[in-house]
Amino acid sequence: MDKKETLFWKAIKKETQSLGIYWHRIENIANSGTPDLLGTHNSIGYFTLELKITSNNKVNISPFQIAYNKMAFINGAKAFYLVKTLVPRTLKLYGGNQGEELAKLGHEKVKPLFLAENFKKIFSLLLVA
């Protein structure tokens, strides 16, 4: 994780503590494509998050990340991309099956599952979906 993603992760952990989500940050250099975070909550069980930050329409997703999340999604896992846009400041949650489309078209052209201005709101929506 680069420095921006590390700060992103720390903000997620801090802002979602009250929601009862338990987080595990995955630092994996050996297996490209493994998501950044593993979360668990009593209402939805385990889920993964690939964190992305962008200041424009482009979302940098590697072919390994696309493959991992797509396969997880196809096999019934709860896999997501969380995109933080800097202009305007928003959070967009996408399904694990949307990575290829996100990488090709960018976040402005792909409809997110949820859109919010803060972490509590986006994760509250996820937990009741």
Q: Look up the CATH number of the domain holding residue 50.
A: 3.40.1350.10
Choice between 129 and 24, residue whose per-residue pLDDT is larger: 24
User: Structurally, how many domains does the chain consist of?
Assistant: 1
Q: What does the mean pLDDT of the chain come to?
A: 92
pLDDT at 66 > cutoff 70: yes
pLDDT at 27 over 80: no
Three-class HEC string of 1-70: CCHHHHHHHHHHHHHHHHHCCEEEECCCCCCCCCCCEEEEECCCEEEEEEEEEECCCCCCCCHHHHHHHH
DSSP 3-state assignment of 109? coil
**Residue pair 87/3 in contact by the 8 Å Cβ criterion:** no
Q: What is the mean pLDDT of residues 63-81?
A: 95
Supply the range of the domain harboring residue 20. 3-128
pLDDT at res. 113:
95
Distance of CA 69 to the CA centre of its chain: 10
Cα–Cα distance, 18 to 6 (Å, whole number): 20
Q: What percent of the chain has pLDDT over 70?
A: 96
The pLDDT assigned to 30 comes to: 61
The arithmetic mean of pLDDT across residues 55-83, rounded, is: 95
